[in-house]
C-alpha cells in the first residue's frame, strides 16, 4: 500500500492516529470519548443490501472497483466509531456556510481540505483520505448523529474518492471528478438520508448502532485491504497503534481516562492493554508521571514545555512492529513528543545509554503557549516537528526546545547510577550489571566498614562485607581521615559512596571508590562474591561451570587501571582508589575489601 504525503507511517497506523485525533477534537463536553474499531464479515441478510444499494448506477469497473468488491462471496467491513462526540453537524452542502458548523461538509464534501486549529490534533483532509485508501474500492459509509439547534438528527451517506476520468458518449465527452456519492438526490444534489430512514438503512447494512439519544459518528470502510497481513494481524496492529500513539489519553488507567478504547474481530473482543502493561512503553508512562522539569528559553522569557525523564534496566524482547515503525528498538533511548492535546507526535531518538542493559525514556509536552508554533511545524500526518518550516521567533523557540530535549537525552545517556523499576521480564544479566552495587551496600556517603588485618576468606559471611556497615563501630577508636584502629589491631578503609557502574575498555563494570587507612605501606585485596537472595549471605562454592565476579584491577583517581587482584600502596596521602570488578551474569554481586599492613609481594 502506498504512503500518503510522503509519510513513512503504515496506513493502519495513520487510520488510528487520524481518526482518534479527529474524535478527540469532536468531543462533546467533559465526558470521556469512546473510540472503537470493529472488523467483521457481513451476514447473509446484510451483504445483499450493500449490493442492491451501491451497485446501481455504479461507475464501470475500470473507473472504480466497487463492483469487484461487492461481488466477493464474503464481504467484510471495518468500522471506526466514536461516541461522546458531537457528530458531523452543520450544513450538508459545501456551498452553504454556517460559522463554526462545518464538520459534515469538511469531512464529506471537501476533498483535500486541511485546516489546523490551535488545541486540535487532527485535520479532516488527511484523515478521510486514509479511510478511502484502506478500501479496495475507495468506498466508505458515514453514519452520524448530531445536534441541530434543540433536536438530534441522524445522517447516513456513502461516497468514494478515486481518480478522475473521461467518458466518450453520444452527447460528447464528459469528465468526472472521481467522487461518487450514494444517498438521496434532492434538486440534483446527493444529500444524506436523515432521521429514521438513516437509522433503518444503517441497521440493514449491519453498521454499528449509535447509542440511543447520543451523538457520535461511525465511518465504515467497505472491503478493507491490509497488504500482506491477514485480518487477525491487522487487528493486532490496530490495537498496538492505539496503545503506542494514543496512550496519554488512556491515563489515568481506569474509568477516569479521557478516552476509552476497544476493538473487536468477528464479534470477539481484541484486548487493548493498559500502557503500563506494555514492557517497552511502561518507562514512558513513568516519565509522563515525572514531567516536572520546566523547559524555557530564558532570554526570550518563554516557557516551551515540560519534560519528564526516567532511567531503567531495558526490558527484554522485541517491541511490537508498530513501535519499531515509530523508531523504538530493543534498547530505549527516546523522548516522546506531544502537544498540549496529549497525543503522540513522534518518538525522538537520542544517543544510546552507555551500558547496553540500561536505557532512558522521556516525555516532552509542549506548553499551551507553544501549541500554535508546533502545530505549524507538523506535516499533514502530524508525525514530526519540522522546525525548519518555521521562521523568525517561532523558529528560534521551536529549535531551542528541541535542543534542550537533545541535551537532556545526551546527559541521560552517560554513566550514572540506575535503579530498576521495570518489574517482570527484566534480564537477570542486566540486573547483575546494573544493580550489583545496590545489593553490595546499603550505607550512605562516607560510611565505614570493619575489615580484619589478616587475610579474609572470600567465603566469609556477608556481615564482614560492604553490606553490613552496622558493625563499623565495634569499640573502634577514630583515626586520621575517618579510619580507625580498633580492638585486635583491626584497620578500616573509608568508602567513597556506594558502588557505581561504568565502562572500562568497552566492558560494563562495577566500581567501588575508597580511601586507604593512614598507616603507611599496605596491601588491599578485592573479594567480589555472588550474593544469595533473602539476605542469606554469599555464595561459598559456585556451581560447576558457573561464572563468578572477577577483580579486573585498581585505579588511582581518574588514572589508568592497573590489573591485579591486590593493590600495593601507601595509605594516608588522601588518594581515592577504585576497585574495578566484572560482575557475573545473572547474579547480584557483593563486594568486600580487606587491607593489611606492609608491602610484601610488590
Which tens digit of pLDDT belongs to each residue from 342-397? 999 999 999 999 888 889 999 999 999 999 999 999 988 889 999 999 999 999 99
pLDDT grade for 443, boundaries at 50, 70 and 90: very low
What single DSSP character describes residue 388? G
φ/ψ of 584, rounded to 5, equals: -80, 140
Residue 302 lies in a domain: yes
Query: Cell triple for residue 485?
Result: 584502629
pLDDT at residue 296 in the model:
97
Residue 71 lies in a domain: yes
Least confident of 36-45, 345-354, 426-435: 426-435
Which of helix, strand or coil describes residue 406? helix
pLDDT grade for 484, boundaries at 50, 70 and 90: very low
Q: CB within 8 A of 387, min separation 6: which ones?
A: 377, 395, 398, 399, 402
Print the SS3 string covering 255-273: CCCCEEEEEEECCEECCCC
- Asked whether the beta carbons of 466 and 549 are under 8 A apart, the reply is no
- Asked whether the beta carbons of 57 and 45 are under 8 A apart, the reply is no
State the Cα–Cα distance between residues 182 and 159, nearest whole angstrom.
6
- C-alpha radius of gyration, the chain, whole number: 33
Query: Cell triple for residue 142?
Result: 458515514
Q: What is the pLDDT averaged over residues 89-114?
A: 72
Burial of 543 (0-12, 13-18, 19+ CB in 10 A): exposed
Domain end call among 247, 275, 303 = 275
The rounded percent of the chain whose pLDDT value lies above 70 is: 74
State the Cα–Cα distance between residues 361 and 345, nearest whole angstrom.
15
Query: Cell triple for residue 78?
Result: 471495518
pLDDT at residue 59 in the model:
65
Residue 392 lies in a domain: yes
State the Cα–Cα distance between residues 207 and 201, nearest whole angstrom.
9
State the Cα–Cα distance between residues 323 and 366, nearest whole angstrom.
22
pLDDT at residue 371 in the model:
95
Alpha-helical (H) ranges within 205-259 are 231-246
State the Cα–Cα distance between residues 149 and 436, nearest whole angstrom.
67
- Asked whether the beta carbons of 138 and 208 are under 8 A apart, the reply is no
State the Cα–Cα distance between residues 544 and 547, nearest whole angstrom.
9
Compute how many other C-beta atoms are within 10 angstroms of the C-beta atom of residue 74.
7
pLDDT at residue 48 in the model:
94
Least confident of 64-78, 399-413, 434-448: 434-448
Burial of 222 (0-12, 13-18, 19+ CB in 10 A): buried
Looking at the fold, whether 508 and 373 belong to one and the same domain comes out as no
Looking at the fold, whether 209 and 250 belong to one and the same domain comes out as yes
Burial of 315 (0-12, 13-18, 19+ CB in 10 A): buried
Query: pLDDT per residue over 127-172, tens digit each?
Result: 678 898 899 988 999 999 999 888 999 999 998 876 555 666 666 6
Looking at the fold, whether 135 and 229 belong to one and the same domain comes out as yes
What angle in degrees, to the nearest 10, is found between the helix axes of 124-133 and 11-25? Answer: 140
535-541 long-range Cβ contacts below 8 angstroms, 24+ apart? 535/462, 537/461, 537/462, 538/459, 538/461, 538/462, 538/465, 538/590, 540/459, 541/459
pLDDT grade for 180, boundaries at 50, 70 and 90: confident
Provide the number of structural domains found in the chain.
3
Burial of 602 (0-12, 13-18, 19+ CB in 10 A): exposed
Q: What is this structure's pTM? A: 0.69
Query: Cell triple for residue 417?
Result: 547510577
pLDDT at residue 142 in the model:
95
Mean of all residue pLDDT scores within the chain: 80
Domain end call among 246, 275, 304 = 275
Print the SS3 string covering 495-537: ECCCCEEEEECCEEEEEEEEECCCCCEEEEEEEEEEECHHHCC
Least confident of 214-223, 254-263, 496-505: 496-505
Looking at the fold, whether 378 and 437 belong to one and the same domain comes out as no
Residue 400 lies in a domain: yes
Looking at the fold, whether 36 and 168 belong to one and the same domain comes out as yes
Tell me the β-bridge partners of 442.
Answer: none
Query: pLDDT per residue over 182-230, tens digit each?
Result: 888 887 788 999 999 999 999 999 998 899 899 999 999 999 999 999 9
Q: What is the pLDDT averaged over residues 173-186?
A: 73
Residue 422 lies in a domain: no
Print the SS3 string covering 543-557: CCCCCCCEEEEEEEC
Tell me the β-bridge partners of 217.
Answer: 82, 144
pLDDT at residue 573 in the model:
83
Least confident of 209-218, 267-276, 502-511: 502-511
Looking at the fold, whether 132 and 254 belong to one and the same domain comes out as yes
Write the CATH number for 204.
3.30.565
- Asked whether the beta carbons of 139 and 14 are under 8 A apart, the reply is no
Looking at the fold, whether 266 and 313 belong to one and the same domain comes out as no
Strands 358-366 and 302-313: antiparallel
Residue 289 lies in a domain: yes
Looking at the fold, whether 390 and 537 belong to one and the same domain comes out as no
Instruction: Tell whether the model's pLDDT for residue 453 goes beyond 70.
Output: no
Query: What end-to-end distance do the CA atoms of the chain give, in Å?
Result: 72
| DSSP secondary structure of 317-332 | SPPPHHHHHTT--SS-
Domain end call among 413, 444, 466 = 413
Single out the residue of 355, 458, 337, 343 nearest to residue 406, CA to CA.
337
Looking at the fold, whether 409 and 478 belong to one and the same domain comes out as no
Single out the residue of 512, 492, 411, 508 nearest to residue 452, CA to CA.
492
State the Cα–Cα distance between residues 273 and 170, nearest whole angstrom.
60
Q: CB within 8 A of 567, min separation 6: which ones?
A: 523, 524, 525, 526, 554, 577, 579
Looking at the fold, whether 230 and 293 belong to one and the same domain comes out as no
Instruction: Tell whether the model's pLDDT for residue 597 goes beyond 90.
Output: no
Cell 537532556: give the residue.
Answer: 408
Residue 298 lies in a domain: yes
Q: CB within 8 A of 309, min separation 6: which ones?
A: 287, 290, 293, 360, 361, 362, 408, 412
pLDDT grade for 532, boundaries at 50, 70 and 90: low
Tell me the β-bridge partners of 554.
Answer: 562, 579
Query: Cell triple for residue 183?
Result: 444517498
Burial of 93 (0-12, 13-18, 19+ CB in 10 A): middle
Least confident of 58-62, 68-72, 266-270, 278-282: 58-62
Residue 373 lies in a domain: yes
pLDDT at residue 527 in the model:
86
Cell 465511518: give the residue.
Answer: 219
pLDDT grade for 330, boundaries at 50, 70 and 90: confident
Looking at the fold, whether 488 and 380 belong to one and the same domain comes out as no
pLDDT at residue 113 in the model:
40
Domain holding 441, by residue range, is 428-597
Looking at the fold, whether 268 and 350 belong to one and the same domain comes out as no
State the Cα–Cα distance between residues 119 and 102, nearest whole angstrom.
17
Q: What is the pLDDT averaged over residues 453-481?
A: 29
pLDDT at residue 536 in the model:
55
Pick the residue with more confidence: 406 or 475?
A: 406
pLDDT at residue 461 in the model:
31
Amino acid at each position: 500500500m502506498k504512503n500518503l504525503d510522503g509519510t513513512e507511517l503504515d496506513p493502519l497506523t495513520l487510520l488510528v492516529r487520524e481518526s482518534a485525533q479527529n474524535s478527540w477534537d469532536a468531543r462533546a463536553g467533559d465526558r470521556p470519548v469512546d473510540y472503537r474499531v470493529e472488523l467483521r464479515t457481513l451476514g447473509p441478510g446484510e451483504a445483499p443490501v450493500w449490493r442492491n444499494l451501491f451497485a446501481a448506477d455504479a461507475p464501470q469497473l475500470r473507473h472504480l472497483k466497487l463492483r469487484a468488491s461487492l461481488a466477493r462471496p464474503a464481504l467484510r467491513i471495518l468500522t471506526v466509531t466514536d461516541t461522546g462526540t458531537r457528530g458531523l453537524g452543520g450544513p450538508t452542502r459545501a456551498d452553504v456556510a454556517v460559522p463554526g458548523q462545518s464538520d459534515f461538509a469538511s469531512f464529506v464534501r471537501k476533498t483535500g481540505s486541511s485546516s489546523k486549529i490551535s488545541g486540535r490534533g487532527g485535520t479532516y483532509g488527511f484523515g478521510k483520505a486514509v479511510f478511502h485508501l484502506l478500501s479496495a474500492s475507495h468506498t466508505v459509509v458515514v453514519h452520524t448523529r448530531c445536534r441541530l439547534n434543540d433536536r438530534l438528527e441522524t445522517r447516513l451517506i456513502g461516497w468514494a474518492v478515486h481518480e478522475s476520468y473521461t467518458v466518450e458518449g453520444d452527447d460528447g465527452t464528459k469528465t468526472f471528478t472521481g467522487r461518487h456519492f450514494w444517498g438521496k438526490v434532492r434538486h440534483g444534489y446527493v444529500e444524506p438520508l436523515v432521521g429514521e430512514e438513516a437509522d433503518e438503512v444503517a441497521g440493514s447494512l449491519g453498521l454499528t448502532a449509535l447509542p440511543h439519544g447520543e451523538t457520535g459518528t461511525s465511518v465504515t470502510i467497505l472491503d478493507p485491504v491490509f497488504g500482506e497481513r491477514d485480518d487477525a494481524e491487522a487487528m493486532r496492529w490496530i490495537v498496538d497503534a492505539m496503545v503506542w500513539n494514543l496512550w496519554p489519553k488512556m491515563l489515568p488507567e481506569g474509568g477516569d481516562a479521557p478516552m476509552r478504547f476497544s476493538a473487536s474481530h468477528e464479534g470477539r473482543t481484541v484486548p487493548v492493554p493498559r500502557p503500563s502493561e506494555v514492557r517497552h512503553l511502561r518507562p514512558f508512562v513513568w516519565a509522563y508521571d515525572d514531567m516536572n522539569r520546566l523547559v524555557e528559553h530564558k532570554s526570550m522569557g518563554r516557557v516551551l514545555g515540560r519534560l519528564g525523564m526516567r532511567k531503567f534496566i531495558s526490558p527484554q524482547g522485541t517491541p511490537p512492529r508498530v513501535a519499531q515503525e515509530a523508531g523504538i528498538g530493543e534498547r530505549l533511548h527516546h523522548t516522546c513528543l506531544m502537544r498540549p492535546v496529549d497525543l503522540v507526535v513522534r518518538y525522538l531518538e537520542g544517543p544510546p545509554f552507555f551500558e547496553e542493559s540500561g536505557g532512558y525514556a522521556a516525555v516532552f509536552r509542549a506548553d499551551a503557549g507553544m501549541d500554535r508554533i508546533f502545530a505549524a511545524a507538523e506535516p499533514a500526518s502530524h508525525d514530526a516537528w519540522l522546525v525548519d518550516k518555521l521562521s523568525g521567533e517561532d523558529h528560534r523557540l521551536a529549535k531551542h526546545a528541541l535542543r534542550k530535549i537533545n541535551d537532556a537525552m545526551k546527559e541521560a545517556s552517560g554513566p550514572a547510577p540506575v535503579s530498576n523499576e521495570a518489574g517482570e521480564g527484566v534480564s537477570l544479566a542486566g540486573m547483575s550489571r546494573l544493580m550489583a552495587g545496590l545489593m553490595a551496600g546499603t550505607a550512605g556517603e562516607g560510611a565505614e566498614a570493619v575489615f580484619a588485618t589478616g587475610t579474609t576468606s572470600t567465603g566469609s559471611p556477608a556481615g564482614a562485607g560492604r553490606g553490613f556497615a552496622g558493625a563499623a563501630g565495634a569499640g573502634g577508636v577514630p583515626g586520621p581521615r575517618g579510619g580507625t584502629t580498633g580492638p585486635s589491631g583491626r584497620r578500616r578503609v573509608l568508602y567513597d559512596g556506594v558502588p557505581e557502574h561504568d565502562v572500562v575498555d568497552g566492558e560494563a563494570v562495577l566500581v567501588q571508590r575508597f580511601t586507604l587507612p593512614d598507616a603507611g605501606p599496605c596491601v588491599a585485596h578485592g573479594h567480589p562474591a555472588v550474593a544469595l537472595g533473602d539476605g542469606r549471605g554469599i555464595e561459598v562454592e559456585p556451581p560447576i561451570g558457573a561464572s563468578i565476579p572477577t577483580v579486573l584491577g585498581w585505579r588511582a583517581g581518574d588514572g589508568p587501571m592497573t590489573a591485579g587482584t591486590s593493590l600495593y600502596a601507601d595509605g594516608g596521602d588522601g588518594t581515592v582508589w577504585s576497585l574495578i570488578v566484572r560482575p557475573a551474569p545473572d547474579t547480584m554481586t557483593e563486594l568486600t575489601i580487606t587491607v593489611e599492613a606492609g608491602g610484601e609481594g610488590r
